[in-house]
Amino acid sequence: MTQTDTSLNRLEQTAIDSVPAGLYIGGEWRETATTMPVLDPATGQVLCRVADAGPADGLAALAAAADAQRDWARTSPRERGDILMRAHRALLEDVDRLALIATLEMGKPLAEARGEIAYAAEFFRWFAEEAVRLDGGYMPAPGGNSRFLVARQPVGPSLLITPWNFPMAMATRKIGPALAAGCTCVVKPAEQTPLCTLALARILHESGVPAGVVNVVTTSDPGALMTPMILDERSRKLSFTGSTAVGKKLLEQCARTVMRTSMELGGNAPFIVFDDADLDAAIEGALAAKMRNIGQACTAANRIFVQRAVIDEFARRLAERMAALPMGRGTEADVVVGPLIDGDAVAKVTELVADARERGARVLTGGESVDGPGNFYPATVLVDVPDSARMCHTEIFGPVAALTPFDTEDEVVTRANDTPYGLVGYVYTEGLRRGLRVCEALESGMVGLNQGVVSNPAAPFGGVKESGLGREGGLVGIDEFLELKYIGVAL
Ligand code: NAP
C-alpha cells in the first residue's frame, strides 16, 4: 500500500471548496443551525462540513417541490429535455472536478470516479430523449359507443433517497426520469457522500432548472428528516436506493398513504463459470464484477461458482491478478483498491472472512486487514467457501472473491437461487443453449451472459425478490414517475 499523506493538495482543496455547503430549497441555498462533517475514507480526515437538516427543513423542501409541481408539469417536454441535456453537457465538461469530489468523499479510484460521472451524465441524456416520447393510447370501447383515451401524467412531488456507493449516478438515475416525466423532487443523499449531490444541485440550477423543481437536503438523522415527509400527503412518490433492511422500513411507512414506490435494494449476485467458458473473459469479468467500486456495489459478484474441472486454474489466475492490484488512496495513480467507506465496513469484511475460514475456506491472497490510517482491506481470494458461510448470505461489500466449486447445471442454479435477493447474476459459458437456459432459470432482474458489468442507462436496471420493486433506466424507467389516466369519451 502506498503511504497516505493526510493533507489535501491545492487541487483537492479547491474541488472541496467549490461545493456549496447548504441546503438547496426553492432555488436558494440555506444554512442550518448545525452542520455535519464529511470524511475522507482514505484518511479519516474531515474534508468539510455541510448543512444538517431537521424535520422542518425537510417539510420546507417538500413545500417548495409541491409549489413548483403544477408549473413544472406544464413545461413543455422539449424544454424539460433541453434542460436535462444542458446538465448532461455540464457534467461532462466538469468531469475532472466532479470525479475528484466523488473520490475524496467516497474513496473510489479516480478512474472509476470519472467513469461514474460519465455514467451519471448519460442518465440525463437518456431521459432528455425520453421526455419527448410520453405517448398514450386511443381505442374504441368494445361496445363501440365510446372511446378510450389513455394519458401518462407525472405522479407528482417525489422523494429521492440515494446511497453512498455511487453518489452521483444514483442521483441522476432518479432526478433524470423524475424531471423528464414532469415531477418535482426532494433529494436526500447519504450522510457519508453529500458533496456530489450538492455539486449536482448547482449544475442543475445553472442549467435552468426552475426554483423548487429540485431540492436537496442533507442530514445526519435520515429517519427524523424523512418520516414526516413520507407521511405528508403532498409527497406522491418515494424512489429509494439502499439496503433491503431500510427499504422494508420505508415500504411500511409508504403503506400509510399508499404512496408509489421504487425500491432498488441489496443483492447477492451469483457469478457462474462453466468449464466450457472462455477463462480469460471469465477472469476479466470476475475482476470487473468483484472489484468495481472496491466491491461495494449492489451488483458485486458475491458468490463465485466455478465448475470443478476449471476451479483450480481459475482460482490461481484470479488470485494472481487480485494480488497485483495496487491499494491506496483513490487519488493516487493506478490505484484500484481504494478504502472502504468506513471502519464498520472493514470490521464486517474482516468478520465475514474469519467466519468463512473457520468453516473451511482457504485464503489464496489477502485475508488480513491492514493498519490505518484509512479504511483499507486488501483484495482477497478465498476458495472452498461453503454455502453455510455467512458471506454467502449477506452482501460482502468489499474486495473479497468467494469461490466455491460446483458439478452440474441443475445444482448450480439451485444454489445460486438459494437467497432472498434477486438483483443480478453472471453466467460464463460458450454454450448458447446452456447460457440461455441458465439466464432464464436465475431468479434475478438482470443477468450478464459472458459480461461482468450490466449497468447501462438504456437498460432496465432492477431486481426481483427482496432486491426491489420497479426499474430504473431503459424504456420503462420513466414509467416509475408517471401515472396512467384513462379518459372515457362518449360518442
Ligand atoms: P442504506 O443504509 O440503506 O442507506 C441508503 C439511504 O437511505 C441513505 O441515504 C441513508 O441515509 C438513508 N436512510 C437510512 N435510514 C433511513 C430512514 N430511516 N429513513 C429514510 N432514509 C434512510 O444503504 P447504504 O449503506 O447507503 O448503501 C448500500 C446499500 O445500497 C447496499 O445494500 C447496496 O446493495 C444497495 N444499493 C442498491 C442499488 C440498486 O440499484 N439495487 C444500487 C446501489 C446500492 P444515511 O446515509 O444518513 O444513513
pTM over 0.75: yes
Could you tell me the distance, in angstroms and rounded to a whole number, from the CA of residue 265 to the centre of ligand 1?
8
DSSP lists the bridge partners of residue 238 as: 159, 261
Report which ligand 1 atom has the smallest distance to the Cα of 162. 9
Nearest CA to ligand 1 atom 10: 190
Could you tell me the distance, in angstroms and rounded to a whole number, from the CA of residue 161 to the centre of ligand 1?
8
Report which ligand 1 atom has the smallest distance to the Cα of 245. 3
Report which ligand 1 atom has the smallest distance to the Cα of 163. 26
Does 483 contact ligand 1 (Cβ within 6 A)?
no
Does 66 contact ligand 1 (Cβ within 6 A)?
no
pLDDT band at 14 (very low <50, low <70, confident <90, very high): very high
Does 222 contact ligand 1 (Cβ within 6 A)?
yes
Does 165 contact ligand 1 (Cβ within 6 A)?
yes
Does 164 contact ligand 1 (Cβ within 6 A)?
yes
pLDDT band at 365 (very low <50, low <70, confident <90, very high): very high
Could you tell me the distance, in angstroms and rounded to a whole number, from the CA of residue 440 to the centre of ligand 1?
29
State the pLDDT at residue 4.
Answer: 45
Percent of the chain at pLDDT > 70 equals 99
Q: What is the mean pLDDT of the chain?
A: 97
Report which ligand 1 atom has the smallest distance to the Cα of 193. 46
Count of alpha carbons within 13 angstroms of residue 116, beta-carbon side: 28
Residues 6+ apart with CB under 8 A from 184: 65, 66, 68, 69, 72, 156, 157, 158, 178, 212, 213, 214, 215
**Strand pairing category for 482-490 and 146-154:** antiparallel
Mean pLDDT within 187-196? 98
Report which ligand 1 atom has the smallest distance to the Cα of 264. 41
pLDDT at 1 over 70: no
pLDDT band at 5 (very low <50, low <70, confident <90, very high): low
Does 384 contact ligand 1 (Cβ within 6 A)?
no
Does 266 contact ligand 1 (Cβ within 6 A)?
yes
Could you tell me the distance, in angstroms and rounded to a whole number, from the CA of residue 375 to the centre of ligand 1?
19
Best residue among 186, 231, 235, 241 to mutate for probing ligand 1, ranked by most atoms within 8 Å of CB = 241
State the pLDDT at residue 2.
Answer: 44
The residues that are catalytic are 264
**Which tens digit of pLDDT belongs to each residue from 195-247?**
999 999 999 999 999 999 999 999 999 999 999 999 999 999 999 999 999 99
Percent of the chain at pLDDT > 90 equals 98
pLDDT band at 3 (very low <50, low <70, confident <90, very high): very low
Does 126 contact ligand 1 (Cβ within 6 A)?
no
State the pLDDT at residue 366.
Answer: 98
**Residue 67 in grid coordinates:** 409549489
Smallest CA-to-CA distance from 375 within 337, 431, 322 is with: 337
Q: Map the chain to HEC letters.
A: CCCCCCCCCHHHHHHHHCCCCCEEECCEEECCCCEEEEECCCCCCEEEEEECCCHHHHHHHHHHHHHHHHHHHHCCHHHHHHHHHHHHHHHHHCHHHHHHHHHHHHCCCHHHHHHHHHHHHHHHHHHHHHHCCCCCEEEECCCCCEEEEEEEEECCCEEEECCCCCCCHHHHHHHHHHHHHCCCEEEECCCCCCHHHHHHHHHHHHCCCCCCCEEECCCCCHHHHHHHHHHCCCCCEEEEECCHHHHHHHHHHHHCCCCEEEEECCCCEEEEECCCCCHHHHHHHHHHHHHHHHHCCCCCEEEEEEEHHHHHHHHHHHHHHHHCCCECCCCCCCCCECCCCCHHHHHHHHHHHHHHHHCCCEEEECCCCCCCCCCCCCCEEEECCCCCCHHHCCCCCCCEEEEEEECCHHHHHHHHCCCCCCCEEEEECCCHHHHHHHHHHCCCCEEEECCCCCCCCCCCECCCHHHEECCECCCCHHHHHEEEEEEEEEC
Q: What domains, with CATH codes, occur in the chain?
A: 10-265+468-488 (3.40.605.10), 269-449 (3.40.309.10)
Could you tell me the distance, in angstroms and rounded to a whole number, from the CA of residue 354 to the centre of ligand 1?
26
